[in-house]
Chain A
Amino acid sequence: MTESPITRVARATPEPVSRRVRGLSDRAIAWIFVAPTIFLLLAINIFPLIWTIRLSFTNYRANRLNREVEWVGLRNYERILTDDGIWMNMQATAHFLFWTIVLQVLIGFTLAWLINRKFRGNDLITTIIVLPMMLSPAVVGNFWTFLYQPQIGLVNYVVEFFTGIPANSFSMLGSVTLAPWAIVIVDTWMWTPFVMLICLAGLRSIPDYIYEAAEIDRASKWRQFWTITVPMVLPFLMLAVLFRGIENFKMFDLVVQLTGGGPGNTTLLASIDLKREAFEKWRTGYSSAYAIILFVTVFGLASIYVKALNKVKER
């Protein structure tokens, strides 16, 4: 095909659309259908990405239009990769990523497994449970700062009620040791339902006859769980982990509202630090390099993971 889909469409329009369309080949239709999507992605994802790569080799600042832009080669990358602070941020990100995924998978799978016993009213309860994920993460983060407030918030009083530790003796968001867990708790509260839904879909996709066959073979329930349920749900679970992983690697809104990265950088996730460099300090070149490093990391990890996922699916 020599003409681009766009020109073809443009040529097609002046006449009554339906008549012209009749004449379009399947192939042309295919391109017309796909082209807007590809075009949009090229314009708003790929083009900016290439631009970011370009900027990452300069000392450009988006707030200094009248300053001369210089090529600085790999200096931005060098500065980032040798900066201890950024490795600390990566560790904070890893802590957040690891524990949110572990907790959400454990709780989410358990819930799905229980709901799949189809007790009466399970539909209603499922709908209630998924409500937190409908909220805006920024609003959730903001409101949880209120809930975590030692004096006027609810969380510390609940802890006091169950453990006897006085409510005003600790601060979830203010303590260097507690804050990384405080953000994990909120994310888990919000996104466990998502993992649960995926697991539930997985559980419901297991045909009953497999269990029936196992019953006939007199396999114990325990054995059925490990040899049928778990392997059959595993691809779904891995998918859930992929989504949560990608999303939490990009995590910005929830945590920025909760802690703003503090105290003492303990919850300064990479993406929050990046936003600060790019849009508060306006070090555009430097932050572009930072962005590229993060993108390559998440892309690389995700690719490896997708390969593993495909292997599991093939089994």
Chain B
Amino acid sequence: MTMKRLLAASAVTAVAGLAASASQAQDLTLCWAAWDPANALVELSKDFEAQSGITMNFEFVPWPNFADRMLNELNSGGQLCDLLIGDSQWIGGGAENGHYIKLNDFFDANAISMDDFAPATVYAYSTWPKGTPNYYALPAMGDANGWFYRKDWFARPEIQEAFKAEYGRDLAEPKTQRELMEIAKFFQGREIDGQTVYGASIFTERGSEGITMGATGALYAWGFKYENTPGSYDMEGAVNSPAAVEALEFYKELYQCCTPPGYDNAYMEQSLDAFKSGQVAMAMNWFAFFPGLYADPNTGGDKIDFFVNPGQNVEASTLGGQGISVVSYSDNVDGALEYIKWFAQPDVQAKWWSMGGYSCHRSVLEDPDFVNSAPFAGDFLEAMAGVQDFWQEPAYAELLLAMQERLHNYIVADQGTAQEALDGLIADWTETFEDEGKL
């Protein structure tokens, strides 16, 4: 018996090749991040299951690991996901490395027109190279970074009065980044209902993409550009322009003056925690969370309201959101395309919005009732009109990590100046583009 076991043990490596899991062709697995809209998609997809007879499986990965896990999966040619709702920045890599199937022929054959979707979302979520009519995804979930605040606090007469006395204007949703900071300063350290509260919770997370997504909210508002001419990789004078330096200094000041203690590595979850535990007057986060925030029993309902990222020199918001792609390693490509065809229908898109997903379909967005369908719907339209995204290059992860490090070191660890941080960033990015053979 011992011998047999021994043999079995030494033979395992030989049969290892057979161990790869074979999924059933009739099933589809959809991969996305684990967050509120994903749960809504599960509900929505029940209609698809009923219509098609295909069983849907879902693999939702929490945000902090989402990019790591999914890119790892794609890079190892994994067959876990048939459909992937991947982050907008992955489109370059997905297209160039052959992870995603090109959808043009499929769209043509099934009369799906990209003209039916909001242009900003098509540009951001579907095309590669950027802006060309080569589609690798269908816009699935529009999103941008926005703000929300304690409407009940803003409305209190004593607070209104105190604010007016201090700043000479009414306390209201900020129209510029500078106004936002004033309001945050006003609330910082104030006693409300016997608790010390703070100005705003903002993104400062270091490991994945948090601080970049937060700080670009200020950078874009100051008119930040990645290149002098799009597609030229000519960054000197754009990335480190005086406006960019000013914006970065602003974000650092906002972090230092007006955030609750300990929010030095904060992203979506922490920002939500800060708001829901009543620590802050304002907070930034993705629109995707707004339905959940509005429904929160403690801080939702009539206690909350929303506003779009305030401009400074220009009106702009940081883009979030994702398109849905078919993974080329899938063994059920037909089923996956079937799903996309179903998902693109206007009535499914309308239901998607009603359940908490941010549809990008124009029939939904341009519906006259849309603006009144939720307290943040109008803000959403406004935000999507001015969204800007990070690099979507195949090397985006490298570019992003460089920016994360530079920004976190400057803003949170208080090392060097804004000018040095941005100059350093250009150096990092130049190195990456040189490695890529693009410079």
Contact = CB atoms under 8 A, between A and B. Distances in A.
A binds B: yes
A264 B412 CA distance: 7
**Chain A interface residue number, banded:** 35 or more
Interface string A226-248: 00000000000000000000000
A45 interface: no
A287 B413 CA distance: 26
B425 to A, nearest CB: 14
A262 B206 contact: yes
Interface in B1-29: 1, 3-4, 6-7, 9-10, 13
Interface stretch (B115-123, B125-133, B228-236, B393-401): B393-401
Interface stretch (B46-54, B68-76, B302-310, B378-386): B68-76
A21 B3 contact: yes
A220 B75 CA distance: 67
A174 B10 contact: no
Interface in A28-47: 32, 35-36, 39, 43
Interface in B45-98: 68, 71-72, 75, 93, 97-98
Given A39-B10, A64-B97, A66-B98, A171 B415 contact: no
A95 to B, nearest CB: 16
A168 B263 CA distance: 11
B75 A62 contact: yes
B126 to A, nearest CB: 22
Contacts of A170: 261
Interface string B256-291: 000011111100000001000101000000000000
A264 B401 CA distance: 13
Contacts of B150: none
B225 interface: no
Contact of B68 (A12, A262, A279): A279
A276 B397 CA distance: 10
A173 B409 contact: no
B354 interface: no
A17 interface: yes
Contacts of B207: 256, 260-261
B72 to A, nearest CB: 7
B10 A262 contact: no
Interface residues of B, number: 40
B10 A173 contact: no
Interface in A45-80: 59, 62-66
Contact of A176 (B71, B261, B262, B413): B413
A127 to B, nearest CB: 33
Given A174-B262, A174-B265, A264-B409, A279 B10 contact: no
Given A151-B279, A168-B196, A283-B398, A263 B75 contact: no
A264 B9 contact: no
B252 interface: no
Nearest to A266: B413
A262 B265 contact: yes
Interface in A163-182: 168-171, 173-176
A170 B262 CA distance: 7
Nearest to A39: B10
Contacts of A65: 97-98
Contacts of A100: none
A170 to B, nearest CB: 8
Contact of A9 (B6, B97, B196, B273): B6
A41 B227 CA distance: 50
- Tell me which of B3, B72, B394, B409 has the highest count of chain A C-beta atoms within 10 A of its own C-beta: B3
Nearest to B405: A265
A313 interface: no
Contact of B7 (A9, A152, A259): A9
B9 A280 contact: no
B56 to A, nearest CB: 28
B10 A151 contact: no
Contact of B72 (A169, A256, A279): A279
A281 B401 contact: yes
Contact of A262 (B72, B75, B263, B413): B413
B414 interface: yes
Contacts of A175: 264
7 nearest A-B residue pairs (beta carbon):
A264-B413, A174-B264, A260-B207, A150-B262, A150-B261, A263-B413, A262-B206
Interface of A: 6, 9-10, 12-13, 17, 21, 32, 35-36, 39, 43, 59, 62-66, 145, 148-153, 168-171, 173-176, 256, 259-266, 276, 279-283
18 contacts: A9-B6, A10-B7, A59-B435, A152-B273, A170-B261, A173-B265, A174-B264, A174-B265, A175-B264, A176-B415, A261-B206, A261-B207, A264-B412, A264-B414, A265-B405, A279-B68, A280-B397, A283-B398
Interface of B: 1, 3-4, 6-7, 9-10, 13, 68, 71-72, 75, 93, 97-98, 196, 205-207, 260-265, 273, 277, 279, 394, 397-398, 401, 405, 408-409, 412-415, 435
